Amino acid sequence: MVAILAMVLYGVIGMVIINRSLLTSMDKLTEGASKFANGDTHHSINIGIPIEIASVAHTFNSMKNKISEQHKTLELMANVDGLTGLLNRRKFDELIAQELISATHNSDSLSVILADIDHFKRFNDTYGHQGGDEALKQVANTLKSSIRDIDKACRYGGEEFIVLLPQCNNKEAMAIAERLRSSIEELTLNLGQNQTSSLTASFGIATYPVSAKKPEQLVNCADQALYKAKNSGRNRVSTIT
């Protein structure tokens, strides 16, 4: 009789332990799902027992990781120009707003360089769109390799590029733009099939706070300076202060 009671007691204790383990595992699963639903894509669910729930947790973690990777890919596609690998105009608009707030708060300068490849339509007509695309990629690489680590080079659209220069006054921006202009002028473009060519670019500069104090105004001033450089003969740097 005592043995039977002991077996019953052990059985009840075992059931309590299993139920507690089950409830704990279910709580972990619910917590993990809730965190993921609220945007925490780094949280993983660690469950060992029971095996059925552990299997569900493993499947959930795998699904979460795949969704997280897809999210990173989509974010990259939303912010990066597919042809040149530079940041795109959407990301530039976001960055200039952030940098302008920082420059205002810290009483710093902020410069913008707007660049446009000279006679690019004629270049496209001569070498075709593939040649034009290759030229854009090589110009983009030249821009990236010729600016400071804190600067951001972006493709603004078509054959236009824009560079954001934090903590950079107008005189410093002029020197950087001149370096970019010279680097592009000296660039030998490899267009495939033993074809090489060259091109030039014109540059317009605007600086906060001397040129303008709002993002769109700063870009407009850089565009006016670029227009001035184009009208002055191209392959040169101009600024508006």
Q: Which residues contact 42 (CB under 8 A, 6 or more apart)?
A: 68
Taking the C-alpha atoms of residue 156 and residue 91, their distance in angstroms, rounded to an integer, is: 10
| Partners of 110 in beta bridges | 166, 208
Residue 169, class by beta-carbon neighbours within 10 Å (0-12 exposed, 13-18 middle, 19+ buried)?
Answer: middle
Q: Which residues contact 173 (CB under 8 A, 6 or more apart)?
A: 111, 112, 113, 165, 205, 207, 239
Pick from 75, 87, 77: nearest CA to 41: 75
DSSP 3-state of 153: strand
**Is 159 annotated in the active site?**
yes
Q: Which of 31, 52, 99, 159 is catalytic?
A: 159
Taking the C-alpha atoms of residue 35 and residue 40, their distance in angstroms, rounded to an integer, is: 5
Which residues are known catalytic residues? 159
